[in-house]
Structure formats: structure tokens, C-alpha cells
């Protein structure tokens, strides 16, 4: 057996609940479950108010990941999955959410979620997920107008960043802050492919580059790549970033530098945007259904 190695890529699983909200007060209980390739989130809303959420690492099976995310979000509350009126499944594994009433693509859900999280002035959303990256343009109601995505290549995704965290043996949540500890911005890593970028970075380390500088070069390369994607869809302010990479200031700051303005920030965890959008759709659909009944 190989000895246990520290897992530098491993990010913190999180959950949250607002106990000032009473789920038993008779309001609509809606939920969104976003099963991504790397992480899964569950969001529960009471009458359109955020009640509870969880964010976990996706396991080998999508149905189990969906169930576990929801169970973890509801743990400690009086709610059970069966109590939820309308559940929307989204993300890469959306067709495998056993308790979902409907599936909606993550592009629509992210736009809807970002509209709630960052306000109706948001027109451009950059969702940087585990295995894909999307640039989305939306209107004041969070409705998608146009989008561009990369889901074929690890460059510019969270998975690529995890590979680098492991290579440099830097915990994933410190990659961004460390990459900003450089006096001068180094030229970005020139290889697009993560596999080749790894060799390039190993070469830079051998040449005596400190880790901070190598991370700066990689975060810079990622920002450059994402900027190209954003340029294809066109950036209109306000601009928001969702997904796990939104928590990496090394990438965010460099994207902002390239754009010439800052991304809006919100109080809600950027990784739950998709599931939150799903819960908002769920709420609207339940409301509509009741109106017709």
C-alpha cells in the first residue's frame, strides 16, 4: 500500500442554514441540486428565501452524490426530501437526480442564480466549474441571451487548478493568494494543455522559480484563456464570477485586470449559483402549477 499523501487539491466541503427561516410556515419548499463533475450542491428555499445549502465533492455515482448533498443540506432541520414541493436537477449529472421533478441546464440555472446572488444589474456571468467554463450573457431577469463554453479541455477549469495545486504541493485555497505574492507579473505559462503546462511548470521550478511565481504564471495563463472565452460572448457590466474558481483571487484579479473593471461580489457562496438557480426555477414552477390547479 502506498503511504497516504497529502491531498493538496482537496477543498473544503461546506454547508449553511438560516434558522430564522421557518420551513413549516406553509410556504413553497423548492430545491435545486447541481451535480457537477467535481462538486455537487443542494440548495433549499422557503417561499423563494434561501434556507439551507450544501456543497460536496461528487462521488462515483451521480444519484448518490445528489442524495448525499441533499441529505447533508437538510441534516439537522425538520425537513425531509419528501417534503420538498419542487426539486430541479441541474449540472452535468442532472438526469441522475432521482428525486428531481424537472431538469434544467446549468447555463440557465447559473444565470438565474447569479441574478439572485449579485442582483439584476448582472449582464455577464463567468461560471468556472470543475470540468468546464462558461461565459453567459443574460438580461435583467437572469434570462440567458447568449453563451460560450469550453467543456472539452481541462485548461481554464477547476480540475486544471487542482492538478497544479498537487504539482506544487500548495493547498488549493492558498493557490490564489500565493500567486499574488509576486513583485512583478511573470509571463503566463505558454502551454495551453494542462499536461504540457505541468512539464513547463516543472521546468520553471528547476530553473529556480519560486512557487509563487510559477503559480502567478499559471493563474495568468488561466485568466488569459478565460478572457478569450469572455471576449467571444462579449462582456457587458455588471460582471460576476460563479463556480469554484471565483474563490481564487489569483485568477479573479487577473481576469479583472484584463477586463479593466472588477467583478461584483455577493454574500452567498459562489459555488451554489447553479443549484440556487434550480431552486428559484423550482419555486416559480411550483407557483405556476398551483395557479393552474
Binding interface with another protein (CB under 8 A): 37, 60, 131, 152-154, 159-160, 163, 191-196, 199, 206
Minimum distance from residue 196 beta carbon to another protein (Å): 6
Report whether 93 contacts 261 (CB < 8 A): no
- Measured from the CB of residue 155, what is the shortest distance to another protein in angstroms? 8
Instruction: Indicate the residue among 89 and 93 with the shorter CB distance to another protein.
Output: 93
Question: In the complex, what is the shortest distance from the CB of residue 128 to another protein, in angstroms, rounded to a whole number?
Answer: 15
**CB 245, min distance to another protein, A:** 15
Q: Which residues of 139-176 are buried (b: 16+ CB within 10 A; e: fewer)?
A: eeebebeebbbbeeebbbbbbbbbbbbbbbebebeebb
Compute CA distances 70 → 40, 100, 190, whole Å. Answer: 9, 11, 41
Query: What residue ranges in the chain does DSSP mark as E strands?
Result: 14-17, 29-35, 39-46, 49-57, 86-90, 102-103, 124-128, 133-138, 144-150, 239-242
Please, are residues 86 and 28 in contact by the beta-carbon 8 Å criterion?
A: yes
Q: How far is the CB of 191 from another protein (least distance, A)?
A: 8
Q: Which is nearer to another protein, 114 or 154 (CB)?
A: 154
Amino acid at each position: 500500500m502506498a503511504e497516504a499523501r497529502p491531498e493538496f487539491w482537496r477543498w473544503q466541503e461546506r454547508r449553511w442554514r438560516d434558522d430564522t427561516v421557518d420551513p413549516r410556515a406553509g410556504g413553497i419548499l423548492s430545491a435545486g441540486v447541481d451535480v457537477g463533475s467535481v462538486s455537487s450542491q443542494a440548495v433549499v428555499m422557503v417561499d423563494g428565501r434561501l434556507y439551507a445549502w450544501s456543497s460536496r465533492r461528487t462521488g462515483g455515482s451521480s444519484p448518490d452524490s445528489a442524495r448525499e448533498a441533499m441529505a447533508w443540506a437538510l441534516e439537522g432541520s425538520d425537513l425531509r426530501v419528501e417534503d420538498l414541493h419542487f426539486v430541479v436537477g441541474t449540472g452535468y449529472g442532472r438526469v441522475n437526480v432521482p428525486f428531481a421533478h424537472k431538469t434544467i441546464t446549468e447555463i440557465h440555472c447559473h444565470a438565474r442564480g447569479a441574478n439572485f446572488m449579485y442582483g439584476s444589474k448582472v449582464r455577464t456571468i463567468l461560471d468556472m466549474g470543475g470540468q468546464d467554463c462558461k461565459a453567459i450573457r443574460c438580461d435583467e431577469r437572469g434570462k440567458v441571451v447568449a453563451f460560450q463554453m469550453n467543456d472539452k479541455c481541462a485548461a481554464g477549469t477547476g480540475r486544471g487548478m487542482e492538478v497544479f495545486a498537487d504539482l506544487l504541493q500548495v493547498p488549493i485555497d492558498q493557490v490564489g493568494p500565493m500567486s499574488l505574492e509576486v513583485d512583478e507579473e511573470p509571463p503566463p505559462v505558454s502551454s495551453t494543455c494542462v499536461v504540457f503546462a505541468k512539464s513547463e511548470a516543472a521546468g520553471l521550478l528547476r530553473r529556480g522559480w519560486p512557487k509563487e511565481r510559477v503559480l502567478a504564471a499559471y493563474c495568468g495563463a488561466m485568466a488569459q484563456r478565460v478572457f478569450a472565452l469572455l471576449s467571444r460572448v462579449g462582456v457587458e457590466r455588471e460582471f460576476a464570477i460563479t463556480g469554484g474558481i471565483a474563490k481564487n483571487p489569483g485568477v479573479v484579479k487577473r481576469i479583472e485586470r484584463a477586463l479593466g473593471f472588477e467583478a461584483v461580489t455577493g454574500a452567498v457562496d459562489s459555488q451554489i449559483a447553479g443549484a440556487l438557480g434550480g431552486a428559484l426555477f423550482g419555486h416559480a414552477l411550483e407557483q405556476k402549477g398551483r395557479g393552474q390547479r
